Amino acid sequence: MRQGIVGVAGRSWLAGAAMLVAAAVPASAQGTGNGYLFGAPDAQLTVRGGWFIASANSSFYSQATRDFTLSKSDFSSPTLGAELGIRLAPQLDFTLDAAWSGMSKGTHYRNFVDNNNQEIEQSTALRRVPLTVNLKAFLAPRGRSVGRLAYIPSKVVPWVGVGAGATWYSLEQSGDFINTTSGAVYNDKFQDSGWGPALQGMGGVDVSLTPRIALTGDARYLWSKASMGTDFQGYDKIDLSGVSLALGVTFRL
C-alpha cells in the first residue's frame, strides 16, 4: 500500500511539474542573454521534494501508538510541493503553494494476539495536502540592472515568508480490530477526510545556477488541525502540523 500511495501521487506531481516546466522553456529561451536576462522576471516557479516531519500531537496518534506497533515518526513521510510566485516589488512576491505528503504502514496490536496465537494485523494510511497563499520577502536584492535591457540575477538570495490557507487530509485504518466490550476480533475499515485551517512560516535560500534556473533550499513549519468524522468519534481534532525540509529547482519566468 505504501508504494501505491507514494507512487501514484509522485507520478501525478512529476507529470504536472514537467508540463509547467515545458511551457516555461520557450519563453525563458527568448528572454535570456549571455549570462543575463532581458529584464527582471515577473514570476517564478519552484518544484521541490523532501521530507515532512509530523508533529503528531493529538489523541488519535496517542491511541494509535499505544495500541498498535506505530510510533510518531511513522507519520512522517516524503513530501512534494510546487510554488508559483508573482513579483509584487523588487524584494517581495505573492505566492500560491501546494504540497503533498503521505504514509502507509502495516501494524499489529502490541499486547494482544488472536485465538491461534497469531498477530492481529491492520494498516494505517494518512495523506496531507496543504494549500496556501503566502507573502515571500527576499532578504537581499534578487539582481541588478545593467543599462536599460540587461538584468543579472544575484548568486545567493535568502528569503522568508508567511502564509495561510487550508489542509485537506485523508485517513484510513483497515484490517482486524478488537471489540473492547466483547473481546472478539472483527474485520473493518475506518475512513475519514476533511479540511482544516492552516498557517505557515517558511524560509530558505535561492542559489543561481543559470540566469533562469536556481537551486532552492526550503524549510517550512505548517500549523494545521481538522475535525474528525463519524468513523473516528471521540477523538479531538487531528494534528496535521509539522516541519518540511526540501530541495527544489526554481525557474524564473
- Give residue for cell 485523508: 170
What is the pLDDT averaged over residues 32-56? 90
Residue 180, beta-bridge partner list: none
Strand, coil or helix: 138? strand
Give per-residue pLDDT as tens, 138-150: 999 999 988 777 9
**What's the full length of the chain, in residues?**
253
Round to whole Å and give the CA distance between 109 and 121: 7
Burial of 147 (0-12, 13-18, 19+ CB in 10 A): exposed
C-alpha distances (whole Å) from 130 to each of 42, 82, 209, 212, 253 are 25, 11, 29, 27, 24
Round to whole Å and give the CA distance between 132 and 239: 17
Burial of 102 (0-12, 13-18, 19+ CB in 10 A): buried
Round to whole Å and give the CA distance between 179 and 158: 54
Binned at pLDDT 50, 70 and 90, residue 32 comes out as: low
Residues of the chain above pLDDT 90, percent: 80
Round to whole Å and give the CA distance between 170 and 160: 30
In the structure grid, which three cell numbers stand for residue 70, read together?
Answer: 506505530
Binned at pLDDT 50, 70 and 90, residue 123 comes out as: very high
DSSP state, residue 69: S
What is the pLDDT averaged over residues 5-16? 48
Give per-residue pLDDT as tens, 189-232: 999 999 999 999 999 999 999 999 999 999 999 999 999 999 99
At 235, the amino acid letter reads Y
Does the pTM exceed 0.75? yes
pLDDT at 13 over 90: no
The CATH class that applies to domain 2-252 reads mainly beta
